[in-house]
Amino acid sequence: MARRRLIIVGGVAGGATAAARARRLCEDCKIILFERGPHVSFANCGLPYFVGGEIAEPDSLLIQTPASLKARFDLDVRVKTEIVRIDRTARLVHAREVETGREYDETYDALILSTGASPLKPLLPGIDRPGHFMLRNIPDVERIMAWSSECGRCRAVVVGGGYIGLEMAEQLRRRGYEVTVVEAQSQVMAPLDPEMAAWLHRELRMNGVSLYVNDPVVSFEPPSGREPAKSSIVVLKSGRRLPADTVVLSMGVKPEVTLAKEAGLEIGKLGGVRVNEHLQTSDPHIWAVGDAIEVRDGVTGQWALIPLAGPANRQGRIAADHILGRPARYDSTLGTSILRLFTLTAACTGANEKALRAAAIPFEVVHLHPGSHAGYYPGAEPIAMKILFSPETGKLLGAQAVGHEGVDKRIDVLATAIKAGMTVHDLVDLELAYAPPYGSAKDPVNVAGMVAQNVVRGDVTLAQWHEIALLDPRTTFLLDVRREDEWVQGAIPGASHIPLDELRNRLDELPRNREIIVYCQTGQRSYIAARLLRQQGFRVKNLTGSYRTWDAARWLSEQRRPEVEGSE
Amino acid sequence: MARRRLIIVGGVAGGATAAARARRLCEDCKIILFERGPHVSFANCGLPYFVGGEIAEPDSLLIQTPASLKARFDLDVRVKTEIVRIDRTARLVHAREVETGREYDETYDALILSTGASPLKPLLPGIDRPGHFMLRNIPDVERIMAWSSECGRCRAVVVGGGYIGLEMAEQLRRRGYEVTVVEAQSQVMAPLDPEMAAWLHRELRMNGVSLYVNDPVVSFEPPSGREPAKSSIVVLKSGRRLPADTVVLSMGVKPEVTLAKEAGLEIGKLGGVRVNEHLQTSDPHIWAVGDAIEVRDGVTGQWALIPLAGPANRQGRIAADHILGRPARYDSTLGTSILRLFTLTAACTGANEKALRAAAIPFEVVHLHPGSHAGYYPGAEPIAMKILFSPETGKLLGAQAVGHEGVDKRIDVLATAIKAGMTVHDLVDLELAYAPPYGSAKDPVNVAGMVAQNVVRGDVTLAQWHEIALLDPRTTFLLDVRREDEWVQGAIPGASHIPLDELRNRLDELPRNREIIVYCQTGQRSYIAARLLRQQGFRVKNLTGSYRTWDAARWLSEQRRPEVEGSE
C-alpha cells in the first residue's frame, strides 16, 4: 500500500502542530509542510518584545527549523514555497518556489490549510510610504529595527490600538521613542468594555504615550521643510497632523482565504473558511485551522473570527487527529486573551457587553476591586474585575480584569469556569489556593461569585458607572459612605457623605421619597450600606465598582492627562 | 415579636464571616460573638510571616476589632470570654469571662460553633519545657519574639514538617537562626506525594536548613554544661540529639470539640463535629463550621479533617444563610492548598496517591515539567506538575505542582476543573490566557491534559519514577534519548544513550526481546521516542517526568546534600 500523503499549507502555529502530531500518530505517512515565508514554527506572539529588547535574539523566536523538524519528525518542510492552486478533483496542490520561480505539483490524501490572517491595510492615501511597517514575521521586525537604527529621538505613530498596536507602543517607548497611538474607535482593545479599557488609556498616558481616540487616519502625507519627519505626516479626521519618523500599521487582520476561495471552498459571511466540527471544509479531503477559519463563539454561539495562537494550536492537533482516525472535535472558542502594557496586565474571556447585546442575550454586570492577595501581606494591589452573567440563572457569560499581579490567574480560573458551564453560585464554592502571598481566604474569584450571587438572588440592585452622568437629583440621592479621608480626596459630583460606620445612627438624614444610589471606594462597603438601608425600607441601589470604576472610566476622555508624567 | 438571637462561639474565620453575613441578611437580629482569645477576625495564616519580619506590624493581622464590628455590623462581640457549657434544652450558653471569672447565661435561637482546632501535643517527656512554642495566635508570636530577642545566633528546632512548620523554618532562617526541621514521617508536607515533596527537601537544604525525616522526637531533655542550649536537647528516635535555643512544635492540629462533645452532639470517627449538608449538627438549632468539623472529601467522598481558611470562611457564610432561610448547602472540600518555601511554591488540590489507595479508587499518574511561560521570553522556569486521573474515564482526581512562577495559577485552574468534574480531555480544550510573559500557546494545563489523554487513549504506556530502582536489566532496557550535553551531566544508572534525533536511524541497536523504558529530561521527547518505537513494533514505556522527576526524588534521601550551601 502506498504511503498516505498529508500536505499542510502554512508552517506556523496550527500547521506545525498538525505536522508533529500527525507524525506521532503515523510513522508511515508522508508529511509535507509548505511555508511561504523563510521560517516555520516561529513564535509570532514574541515579535513585539524583540523591538524593545526584552527578547534579545531574534533566533530565540525560532522554535524549530526545517532541519530540526526533519531530524525529529521526518517532516518534509519546504520554506519559501507558495501554494498557488489546489486541484480538488486530482487532489493535488500546485507549488511555486518564491526565489527560483520553479513550479511543481504534489498530490495529497489529506490537505490542511493553515494560511493564517493578513494585516488589514485600508486604501488610505500614502499608506505605502517609506517607514511604514506591519508586524507579521521576523523580517518585518528586522526591517523596523534597521529603519530606526538611523534615527535618534524618533517619533512613532502607531495606527490601531489592538494587541499588537499597544505592545508595539510599549516596546517603542522602551526604545526611547516618542510614541502616539491613534485609534478610530472610542477606546483601545476592543475585547474589553470601555470602562475596563480606560485603565489602559491611563497606563499609556502615565507612561508618556499620547493617545487619540475617535479619530481615524484619513491620509499619510509626505513631510516637508515646515513639517519635517523621516516617514510621513499622519493626518487624522479631526485635522490633527502627526509628524512620524516611523509608522506602525496595526489595524487588525483578516483571514487569508485566497487559496481556499479560488478552490471553491465554502467561505463564511465574516470572510473566514467555513469548517465543520471536525475542522473539515466543504471538501471532505481538506481541513482548515487557525486564523483563516470562522469558529463558533463559545458563549453566544455565533460565527466569529478569533485569531489567537492557543486555539490555532489546538485546532492543528484536532485536524491531525481526525485525519488519522482519532476521536476529535472542535467545539467553540471563548477568546481568552491577555495583554501586558507597561506595569499593567489586562485580560478577558467569554463575551463582552457588545457581543451579548449583538446576540440579544440578557446579562447583568458586576464590578469589583479585590486585592491581588491578602491585604496584610505586603505588595497587594487591587484588581479591577468585571463579571458578566445571566440575571436569571447566574450562568457565567464573560469576565474582564485589569491590574498588576494575579490578573492572568483569575481570568484563567474564570475561563475554566465558563468552559465548564458554571454559574456565579459555583464561583462562590471554588476552592482556590490560599496563603498570604498568593490570594485571600476569599479569593477575588470567590468574591466575584458572592457579589454576583447577591444580584441573582435579588438581595441587592445595582447601578452602573455609565448611569451616574444621567442621574436626576430630583428623583435620585447619591450617597458616599467612605471614610472622611477618602471623601476629601475626591468624590462624585452631587454626592452626599455619611461614613458607613455612622449610617445606622443617621438614617433620618436620608430621603424616603427618592431612590438612593450608594457608593464607596470599590462597592463592598456600599453593599453593606445597601443591605442596611433596604432592610430599613429605603429604595436603594449599589453603584457596582463604585468610585474606583467611575473614576477609571474618566480616562476614556481625550482630555484627561496624568498629573505626573511618566519618566523617560 | 422578640428579636431573633444568634450566638456564635469563636471569632476567627468562619465565626466572624457568619456574624457579618448574618447582619447583612438580618438587620433586626441580635448577634453575639464570643471569643476566648483577645482578638477577633485576625489573620492567623499571616502569623509565621511576622516572625521573619515580612509582615512588620502585628496589628496589620487584626482585620477587625470588637469596636469596628460594633460600628459597622452592630455585632455584640465579647472577647476573652469562654463558653463553658451549652444547655440544649433551654437553648442557652453558659459564658465565663476569662479575666474576671464572671459567669452568665445567654439564650439563643440559633447557635454556631466555630471553635477551630488545637495544636497536637503528644505526651513526650519534657514537651512543656521553656522555650517551646506553638503558633496559634498573636500572643504566641509575641512570646516567640520576646524569647528570641535575647538570643544571638540561635539554633531552632522545628518539630513537624507541615505548613506551619515549614513556614516557621523559613521565617526563623530569615531571622538568622540555624534551623533544623524534624519530621517523623519519610517526607515533609503530607498532602504532596513523596517525589513532589522531595523538591521541598531540596529547597530546605539549599537554604541551609537541616532536615531529618523518618525520625520522631522521643523526648526533650534539659541542656547541660556539656550540651548547652537555651531551651532543650531534642532527642530523636535514632538517638540524634539536637541542642535547641528555641523549639517550635508544629505537629498538626485536632478539632476542638470539647464543648460539642459535652453537649452530646454527634462526633465523627475522625474526632470532628458531624454536620449535615446545611452544616447543622445533630441538634437542629446548632450549626458548626471550620476546623472543628468533619467534611466530605470532594474526590474520595470519605469523611475528612481539612483545616483550611477558605472552606472555614465559606462554611461561615453558608451557616448564616441557612439559619436565615437562604438556600445554602455545603457539598465537600477538595483541600486546595499552597505553601511558599523560600524561592519555591508548592501547591495541590484534590486527592493524592495515598488518599486514592485508601479509598480503593483506581488512578493513573502523569508527571511533566512545562515552562512557566513561553521559553523564548526571559525568565521561564520549569514547573514540576503531577496529575492524577481515572485510567478509564480520564476524570481528574488530583493535581500537585512545585516551581517558582505560575504554580498557584495552574493549581487554581486544576482545582476549578476538578470541582467542575472535568476530565483530562477537557483540560486539552481549556482556553487559557496566552501572551509570552504569562504562559504558552499550549499552557502547562493543556499539556497536562494532552499527556494524560495519550495515556487514557492507550497511545502510550508509562513507567513511574519509583519503578526504576526495581528494574531487571535482563527483561528491561533503559534508554536515554537526550542530547549528548545532557547525558554527560548525569544519567540514570544502567541506561543506554541514543539522542532522539538519531533514533529513527539507529533502531537496530535496540533489543526486541526486552521492554524498553525510554526517558529524556522531562518526558516530552521520550514520548515522541515511545510513539516512534511502538509504531516500529517495540515494547516500550515512557518514564513519566523522566530524568527530572527521578532526580528530584533522590532528595527524599537523608544523605543527599547540596553541593553549594545556601548563603547565610
Could you state, in order of their start, the residue ranges of all structural domains in chain A? 5-117+254-323, 132-251, 343-456, 462-555
- Give yes or no for a contact between B441 and A343, defined as CB atoms under 8 angstroms apart: no
pLDDT digits (tens, 9 = 90+) for B164-212: 999 999 999 998 999 999 999 999 999 999 999 999 999 999 999 999 9
Task: Provide the pLDDT for residue A152.
Answer: 64
In the prediction, which pLDDT does B564 show? 47
pLDDT band at A313 (very low <50, low <70, confident <90, very high): very high
Q: A348 near A337, Cβ under 8 Å?
A: yes
Size of interface A-B (CB pairs under 8 A): 241
Q: What is the CATH number of domain B132-251?
A: 3.50.50.60
Among residues A444, A322, A475, A302, which one has the least CA distance to residue A372?
A444
- Give A28's contacts in chain B (Cβ within 8 Å): 535
Instruction: Answer whether A433 sits within 8 Å of B63, measured CB to CB.
Output: no
Supply the ipTM of this predicted assembly.
Answer: 0.96
Query: Would the pLDDT of A166 be above 70?
Result: yes
Contact A149, A51 (CB under 8 A): no
Look up the CATH number of domain B343-456. 3.50.50.60
The 3-state DSSP class for residue A110 equals: strand
What's the CA gap between B366 and B414, in Å, rounded? Answer: 14
| Identity of the residue in B13, B339, B536 whose CB atom sits nearest the CB atom of A27 | B536
d(CA A171, CA B374): 18
Q: What is the pLDDT of residues B530-543, one digit of tens each?
A: 999 999 999 999 99
Contact A7, A32 (CB under 8 A): yes
Specify the fold of B5-117+254-323: FAD/NAD(P)-binding domain (3.50.50)
Q: Which residues of chain A have a CB within 8 Å of the CB of B431?
A: 298, 310-311, 333-336, 349, 415, 419
User: Over 50: is that where the pLDDT of A414 sits?
Assistant: yes
- Region A57-65: what's the mean pLDDT? 78
In this structure, how many other beta carbons lie within 10 angstroms of the beta carbon of residue A93?
24
Mean pLDDT of chain B: 95
Provide the Cα torsion A351, A353, A355, A360; round to 10°: 110
Q: What is the rounded distance in angstroms from the CA atom of residue A125 to the CA atom of residue A221?
A: 8
Q: Which residue of A has its CA nearest to B55?
A: A377
Q: What is the mean pLDDT of chain A?
A: 95
Grid cell, residue A529, equals: 450600606
**Is the pLDDT confidence value at A559 over 80?**
no
Question: Which triple of cell numbers denotes residue A185?
Answer: 474607535
Give dist(CA A33, CA A264) in Å, integer. Answer: 22
| Pairwise CB contact (< 8 Å): A431 & B336 | yes
**Tens digits of residue pLDDT in A40-58:** 877 788 889 988 888 887 7
Per DSSP, A499 falls in state -
Burial B394-408 (b: 16+ CB within 10 A, else e): bbbbbbbbbbebbbb
Stretch A531-546: mean pLDDT, rounded? 97
- DSSP string of B283-340, one letter each residue: STTEEE-GGGB-EEBTTT--EE----HHHHHHHHHHHHHHHTT-------B---EEEE
- Asked whether this chain's domains B5-117+254-323 and B462-555 adopt the same fold, the reply is no
Please report which residue ranges of B175-220 form alpha helices under DSSP H. Answer: 194-206
pTM: 0.96
Predicted pLDDT at A153: 77
Angle between helices B14-25 and B309-323 (to 10 degrees): 30
Residue A567 pLDDT more than 60? Answer: no
Residues with Cβ within 8 Å of residue A2, at least 6 apart in sequence: none
Residue B490 has pLDDT above 80, yes or no: yes
Q: Taking a C-beta distance cutoff of 8 angstroms, is the pair B196, B346 a contact?
A: yes
Subunit contact A430:B416, Cβ cutoff 8 A: yes
CA distance B568 to B561: 16
DSSP H helical ranges for B159-263: 163-174, 194-206, 258-262
Please tell me the distance in Å from A427's CA to the nearest CA on chain B: 9
Q: Please give the Cα distance from A246 to A227 (Å, whole number).
A: 15
pLDDT in tens, A99-108: 999 999 999 9
CATH of region A462-555: 3.40.250.10
- Closest-CA residue in chain A for B332? A429
Q: Which of A236, A222, A100 is nearest to A181 (CA)?
A: A236
Q: Do B413 and A412 touch (CB under 8 A)?
A: yes
